[in-house]
Amino acid sequence: MQSNSTLKKVLYPAYLARVLLFFTACYMVLGVVTHLSWWFLIEKAGIEIKKLSPQYWPAFIFVFVFFFLPCLYFFCSWAAKRFLTINYSKLALYMGCTFFGAMWYEIILDTLFVKFVGQPGWLYKIWPIHYGYTSGVGMFMWPLYGFFVFCMNSAIEINPKLADINNGAAKTYLFALDAMALEILANIFSISLFHTFLFYYLPGDLLHFTTIQIFVPYLFACGLGAITSLFLERLKRNHFIIGFIFYFAGVISLFRLA
């Protein structure tokens, strides 16, 4: 009954109008952030974008993970209004499944971009694999995003003030916006410390940090993720083993594509 009432609510014209206004405001904020970041990093600080030598890829991955891991945890804890307790077995499930699903979605989606748009939507610049549609960095980046999804889901369930977004439709919209914001932060990090893009979006509306064109594909991906999350929550056993199997399958896939 709750899911039916939630679905009816999100289809109300007033609700849809608020969503559209919120999205427009978020897009404007992302535009300001990307333009200010470009001005500060490129024009003011004089950083020259260059190709990162493979010998520095391990250093990039190490710093990337150990910078974003605590940031994501503390952000989600702030959203929950308390420090989150981690169920490590279920976390492994989320991390492994996210990596496998996101890596293949990248390849499929960028292939579709080439087929129907005539060019890729993005190209990875660090450890590129399969024409740059995906990256070896994904072995660490996508599990980290799975960590974020796990923690954010926990925060939404814990904080009663977030009850309005504790449903599949709202989470789909939220995580699609979060993905764009995190992409911008990832590229700001990459340019600031390593003078290169982690991934370069060919559309230039948000200065190649991310793009509005990726929002609808992200909605689809996050919708699938929300459905998958419901399924994962019903699994009572073997969380770690299932997560490891998906992670291992993703690693094997990457090395076969390389």
pLDDT tens by residue, 84-123 = 999 999 999 999 999 999 999 999 999 999 999 999 999 9
Q: CA-to-CA distance for 105 and 96, rounded, in angstroms?
A: 14
- Give the residue numbers spanning the domain of 140: 2-257
Confidence of residue 1 (pLDDT cuts 50, 70, 90): very low
**Percentage of the chain modeled with pLDDT above 90:** 80
Residue 185 belongs to what H/E stretch? helix 168-194
Is the pLDDT confidence value at 177 over 90? yes
User: Please, are residues 192 and 20 in contact by the beta-carbon 8 Å criterion?
Assistant: no
> Model pTM?
0.93
Q: Which residues of 212-239 are buried (b: 16+ CB within 10 A; e: fewer)?
A: ebbbebbbebbbebbeebeebeeeeeeb
Structure-token pair, residue 255 = 């090395």
Residue with tokens 């989600």: 76
User: Could you give the number of structural domains in the chain?
Assistant: 1
**For residue range 55-80, what is the model confidence (pLDDT) as tens digits?**
999 999 999 999 999 999 999 999 99
Structure-token pair, residue 119 = 């060019």
